[in-house]
Structure 1
Amino acid sequence: MTQINPQKFAAFAPNALPGTLAALEAAAAKFKLTDRLVLAHWLGQMHVESKGFSTLTESLNYSVDGLMKTFKRSRISAVDCETFGRKQGRAANQNAIANIVYGGAFGKAQLGNDQPGDGWRFRGGGVKQITGRANYREAGHEADPNVLRTDVKASAEAAANFFVKHRCVAAALTDDVKAVTLLVNGGINGLDDRKVRTAAAKTMLA
């Protein structure tokens, strides 16, 4: 099992949920993420995905402007952004937002969301923020998606499994944060932060 210094991890992720370090170490060992460079990339990426390992549930608390900027109009219309986004005095309708941006033709083709309500049911969960029915199925949690949102150990294993199955290890071995980000995120959202966190993980593991 790869050992990470607890004090260094606390500095790396001061707001991590209880049990996170042990869960990450066990998952890294189980899925053979033992190379220090690979481990650093995995930890750096997962740090960003889970907001410093502080949450296992995706927030869709977008403002109207946030929805407009984050998603293309092919994913959510301007009218729906205005209708469901957060405004002064009105909370975001996160359920509706999830079912729109993770549903429809995009959700079916890219995420395997083929049933009404799948967007919300299979919203981001776990350290990796696993999203979509197909990815929950791959992680072994299609029947009970809430496991990834409540169980740190299961969420760490799902994150490691994703990293291996989606060819992230090979990209990590080239030390290319952008390439790893594309595989993890599907885009380059938060690329600068991912570079910073990966560098910090390398320092932690040195």
Structure 2
Amino acid sequence: MTPTVEQLVAAGIGPTAARQFQPVLAAPLARFGITTPRRVAAFLAQCHVESAGFTALEENLMYTSATRLRRIWPSRFADENAATPFVRNPRRLANRVYANRNGNGPEASGDGWRYRGRGLKQLTGRANYRDAGAATGRPYADKPDLLQDPADAVLTAAWFWQAKGCNELADAWAIDSITRRVNGPAMLEAAQRRRRSGEALKALGGVEAA
């Protein structure tokens, strides 16, 4: 199924974003088996939280506090003094915190910034860009900015969703388990993800698991 603009708005997505994304949903959802009300609802909800309501297709790395940087990346910054040079410096920050992770090279390679979070899933790291490209036939490793296009943002999110086994979890309405697959052990905004999943399912006319 493909949600209408009206259903997307009822699921909590703003009208402008709903009109922008609705035309590019059908093919990726069908391609990756996101075809039932539960699957679509849970997918929309997770994408909503990851992308600030389908409005942010690039990771915001503009931090204004060394304290905040230290809290988010304690393993990268021994103390606030170490974090201070990276305040209000997104490129330098990305190259530091994403170095030698997810297929990226060292800090000097620039891979951290080149493969920063993009798309509805905020796909991050050279390896993930490469794998998404291999699965979809798109040149994401060579042209990472493609993920900021709505069609590619949906396509990569749908690929990631299926690859992580989220369709089956959605069938069981295991929203917290989906959040762990999408967001990792941090489980950020878990309550919001549950709430938005329920809202989206209601908008699509589905029924939650008993």
Normalised TM-score (structure 1): 0.86
In the superposition, relative to structure 1, how do residues 74 and 128 fare at CA in structure 2: closer, same or farther (>3 Å)?
same
In the superposition, relative to structure 1, how do residues 143 and 18 fare at CA in structure 2: closer, same or farther (>3 Å)?
farther
What amino acid is the match of 2:204?
L
> Which of these residues, 153, 156, 173, is aligned with residue 171 of structure 2?
173
Is the Cα contact below 8 Å between 1:17 and 1:54 reproduced in 2? no
Partner of 1:97: 93
The structural deviation recorded for 1:82 is 2.1
In the superposition, relative to structure 1, how do residues 16 and 80 fare at CA in structure 2: closer, same or farther (>3 Å)?
farther
Q: Residue 144 of structure 2: SS of its match in structure 1?
A: coil
Aligned-pair Cα RMSD in Å: 1.7
Q: Return the alpha-carbon distance in structure 2 between the equivalents of residues 18 and 122 of structure 1.
A: 28
- Does residue 114 of the first structure (1) align with residue 70 of the second (2)? no
The structural deviation recorded for 1:18 is 5.1
What amino acid is the match of 1:96?
R
Q: How many residues align?
A: 192
Which of structure 1's runs of 4+ aligned residues deviate more than 4 A? none
Alignment of 1:38-117 (within 5 A): 38-64=39-65, 65-71=67-73, 73-78=74-79, 79-85=81-87, 92-104=88-100, 107=101, 111-115=102-106, 116-117=109-110
Is the Cα contact below 8 Å between 1:76 and 1:100 reproduced in 2? no
Is the Cα contact below 8 Å between 1:99 and 1:118 reproduced in 2? yes
Alignment of 1:1-206 (within 5 A): 2-11=1-10, 12-14=12-14, 16=17, 19-64=20-65, 65-71=67-73, 73-78=74-79, 79-85=81-87, 92-104=88-100, 107=101, 111-115=102-106, 116-140=109-133, 141-149=140-148, 151-187=149-185, 188-206=187-205
Gaps of 5+ in 1: 86-91
Is the Cα contact below 8 Å between 2:47 and 2:120 reproduced in 1? yes
Partner of 1:89: none
Gaps of 5+ in 2: 134-139, 206-210
Q: Percent identity?
A: 34
